[in-house]
């Protein structure tokens, strides 16, 4: 009977109720975040503790079988290379910075080759990029970290890209970052073992569990702000970085005048709304400089500057170097990373 149940389980969603242990292989790429790894694994460990049985098993694998260097400087031990994932029910790819460099052609080819052996495939943060490059998200809904949504949708038109915290699409599941990954794992625990168990896991971490994947990744840039109008204004600004909205329109949408909007910002941030808006745009430009190969002209336009001169002047004033110098420094850092 147990053999029959196992064979049946191979064709069922991993998000269906089941008492059979679920085996998960977690492929962690260099420069991933330790928080993303913990968000995937610790809820499963705690679920086993709450249940008093091994409902979930996991193994860490890496691209080359070596320990994985994480962004915090810690090296995460692995069981082996991609081949060590064979036999698991699901494979989750966790990736962060520089996925284009660390997800080599050999790894992408290996993922294509091994993908059909799993009942489900998942990705966290930049992990969906890796799955998409292997052609494993075509025809599915998926999400990725909010900083990458536009580029991801442009690069993979065959994927229905949404800004949700996490997405389950058939036997594919994706999460936009560490905290959405925890939401997603709580959903998995609840689906397989019951909502009560998922609630116990959340309580043990003092976690405010609202595991609704369709919630936006960014509910507000300052959700805990004393004046909610500040958070709402920053969110409106964050949604319109490429084509900045006049402050008068933002003030009107909040039901206040421009002078009152100025006061709200000075009380909450110690600077006016124009300076705060400029900071958001320049931080976007700096992220794109570090994480993409977009030309400087495109970065200027996408961060709301109509010409390179004004962009360069504002960037130098804020960061102490021109965009061209910043791009050269980023390239140098990546070469050093590759040598290590």
Tokens of 168: 């389950």
Per DSSP, the three-state class of 293 is coil
Quote the pLDDT of residue 162: 93
Quote the pLDDT of residue 330: 67
- Judged on CB neighbours under 10 Å (0-12, 13-18, 19+), 256 is middle
Structural domains of the chain, ranges and CATH numbers in brackets: 2-204 (3.40.50.880), 228-333 (1.10.10.60)
Per-block average pLDDT, block size 10, for the chain (340 residues)? 49 92 98 96 96 96 96 96 97 92 93 97 96 97 90 94 93 95 95 92 80 57 69 88 93 92 90 92 86 88 91 92 85 43
Number of Cβ atoms within 10 Å of the Cβ of 136: 21
Q: Which residues contact 231 (CB under 8 A, 6 or more apart)?
A: 220, 221, 222, 223, 224, 225
Report how far apart, in Å, the C-alpha atoms of 165 and of each of 1, 148, 176 are. 39, 13, 6
120 contacts 90 by C-beta, under 8 angstroms: yes
- Judged on CB neighbours under 10 Å (0-12, 13-18, 19+), 238 is middle
Whole-number Å distance between alpha carbons of 126 and 256:
39
Q: Which residues contact 226 (CB under 8 A, 6 or more apart)?
A: 268
Quote the pLDDT of residue 98: 84
Quote the pLDDT of residue 333: 52
Quote the pLDDT of residue 206: 82
Quote the pLDDT of residue 239: 86
- The residue with tokens 């809904």 is 141
Quote the pLDDT of residue 97: 84
Whole-number Å distance between alpha carbons of 205 and 187:
15
Quote the pLDDT of residue 152: 92
Quote the pLDDT of residue 336: 40
Per DSSP, the three-state class of 16 is coil
């Amino acid at each position: 009977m147990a053999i029959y149940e196992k064979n049946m389980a191979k064709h069922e969603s991993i998000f269906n109720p089941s008492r059979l242990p679920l085996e998960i292989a977690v492929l962690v790429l260099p420069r991933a975040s330790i928080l993303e790894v913990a968000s995937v694994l610790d809820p499963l460990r705690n679920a086993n503790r709450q249940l008093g049985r091994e409902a979930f098993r996991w193994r860490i694998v890496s691209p080359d079988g070596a320990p994985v260097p994480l962004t915090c400087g810690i090296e995460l031990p692995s069981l082996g290379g991609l081949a060590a994932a064979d036999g698991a029910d699901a494979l989750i790819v966790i990736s962060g910075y520089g996925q284009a460099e660390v997800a080599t052609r050999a790894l992408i080819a290996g993922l294509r080759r091994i993908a059909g052996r799993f009942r489900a495939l998942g990705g966290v943060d930049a992990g969906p990029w890796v799955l998409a490059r292997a052609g494993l998200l075509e025809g599915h809904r998926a999400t990725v970290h909010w900083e990458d949504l536009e580029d991801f949708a442009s690069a993979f038109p065959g994927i229905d890209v949404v800004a949700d915290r996490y997405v389950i699409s058939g036997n594919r599941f994706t999460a936009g970052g560490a905290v959405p990954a925890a939401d997603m794992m709580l959903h998995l625990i609840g689906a397989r073992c019951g909502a009560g168990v998922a609630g116990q896991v959340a309580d043990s971490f003092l976690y405010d569990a609202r595991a609704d994947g369709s919630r936006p990744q960014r509910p507000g840039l300052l959700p805990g702000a004393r004046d909610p109008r500040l958070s709402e204004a920053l969110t409106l600004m964050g949604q319109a970085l490429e084509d900045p909205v006049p402050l008068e329109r933002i003030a009107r949408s909040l039901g206040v005048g421009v002078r009152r909007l100025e006061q709200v910002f000075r009380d909450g941030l110690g600077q006016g709304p124009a300076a705060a808006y400029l900071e958001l745009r320049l931080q976007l430009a700096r992220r794109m400089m570090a994480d993409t190969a977009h030309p400087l002209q495109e970065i200027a336009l996408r961060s709301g500057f109509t010409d390179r001169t004004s962009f360069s002047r504002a960037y130098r004033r804020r960061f102490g170097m021109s965009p061209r110098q910043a791009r050269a420094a980023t390239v140098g850092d990546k070469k050093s990373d590759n040598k290590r």
